[in-house]
Structure 1
Amino acid sequence: MTANTPPLLIAGFFAALCLLCSSLALIDFRRGIIPDALNLAVGGIGLARAIVTGGAVAGVEATAEAIIVGLIFWLFRRLYFAARKIQGLGLGDVKFLAAATLWIGLPGIPVLILIAALSALIAVGGAQLAGQTLTRQTSLPFGPFLALGLLSAVAAQQWFGLS
């Protein structure tokens, strides 16, 4: 972030991201799908933020990183399907991770994944403690946890200086 970027503008970008992530989480939880329009909005606002805070070169770098992350997770998705014959990661999740990279860059992806995985494990543990039967075939929408991971990673980078 450049020194002359108004803090109110940064807060506005984050507020927009919060709204988009909330919508995404709710839709994925209810319908098991992350709409392309929401992924596009997350990515578009993330790209706009990268350009406003770092210039055109930062926008190009963020886009290249997003493409790399998208390809890595798409490949991971394909390999998992080849090994297990079931989809373990939805295509909407892959697109969301690519869009999220425009916000947090490559260094933020491990933080996002860690927070998403831990929060999903906590949710599954809570469901089992509440008496819900879960098997290896139980489907769990991962979008809400990815959204939480993204918001946490952005906040950690922005306000705590973690990269």
Structure 2
Amino acid sequence: MFSNAVKCRQIHLIATSIAHYWPLLHERPLSTLTTTAISQEPSMFVTSSIFIILYCGLSLMLCWCDYQSGLLPDRFTCPLLWVGLLYHLYLSESTLSSAVWGAIAGYVSFATIYWLYRGLRGYEGIGYGDVKFLAALGAWHGWSVLPQLVLIATILACVTLGIKIIAGRKRQVLYNPLPFGPFLAAAGLWCGWQTLISPPP
């Protein structure tokens, strides 16, 4: 009887201990994951913000250079392209393929226009810097956004040309080609509200 009573008491103590510590053991993984998520979210936000600042800064530098000199330097277009690919690689590998194809599509589409126009007319219709700039924008926004981006840039350029002609500056338009880089930059920033402000899933 004494032995059975001791065993019952031991079983009771074990059961009581399990009942006491089970909530802590059960909740620990969830609390750990929650703490990890909270600690990672600010880090992800900061990283994403740095990428966005680089994107805006390089785009504005290209816009300014094209407006001032009619050139889009490689020292800005190339970093813009590679930073765009790194953005998708670091934040969401699922969108990396779209970014790569965006860079390819941007380059090939404008390069085709560049060489066809040059072959048919004997001079450049667009600068080769525009080709590289669109490739960089494709790396940021993905291939599916490029048609919308180019359309917006074209509309902005046409509106600007129309305003200059109406204002009596037709001669300036004819002899000083309108830089297309600022319109690509503006269209890229506009499309960025859709593709960049919210981090990739």
- TM-score normalised over the length of structure 1: 0.84
CA root-mean-square deviation: 2.5
Give the drift of 1:138. 4.3
Give the drift of 1:139. 0.9
Q: Which runs of 4+ in 1 moved over 6 A?
A: none
Letter of the 1:111 counterpart: Q
Aligned to 1:46: 84
Gaps of 5+ in 2: 1-40
Alignment match of 1:85 (pick from 114, 117, 122): 122
Aligned to 2:71: 33
Alignment match of 1:100 (pick from 127, 130, 137): 137
Letter of the 1:133 counterpart: K
- Aligned in 2, Cα 1:137/1:86: closer, same or farther, shift over 3 Å? farther
Gaps of 5+ in 1: none
Letter of the 1:132 counterpart: R
Give the whole-Å Cα distance in 2 for the aligned partners of 1:61 and 1:115.
20
- Please say if residues 105 and 138 of structure 2, whose CA atoms lie closer than 8 Å, have aligned partners that are also in contact: no
Give the whole-Å Cα distance in 2 for the aligned partners of 1:124 and 1:91.
21
Aligned to 2:6: none
Letter of the 1:116 counterpart: A
Could you list the per-position Cα deviations for residues 138-162 of structure 1 after superposition, in whole angstroms to 9, with x for gaps in the alignment? 411101111111111121224589x
Give the drift of 1:23. 0.9
Identical columns (%): 30
- Aligned in 2, Cα 1:132/1:90: closer, same or farther, shift over 3 Å? same
Aligned to 2:151: 114
Q: RCO higher in 1 or 2 (8 Å CA, sep ≥ 6)?
A: 1
- TM-score normalised over the length of structure 2: 0.69
Aligned to 1:130: 167
- Please say if residues 5 and 53 of structure 1, whose CA atoms lie closer than 8 Å, have aligned partners that are also in contact: no
Give the drift of 1:72. 2.5
Give the drift of 1:60. 5.2
- Please say if residues 29 and 144 of structure 1, whose CA atoms lie closer than 8 Å, have aligned partners that are also in contact: yes
Matched, 1:10 2:35: no
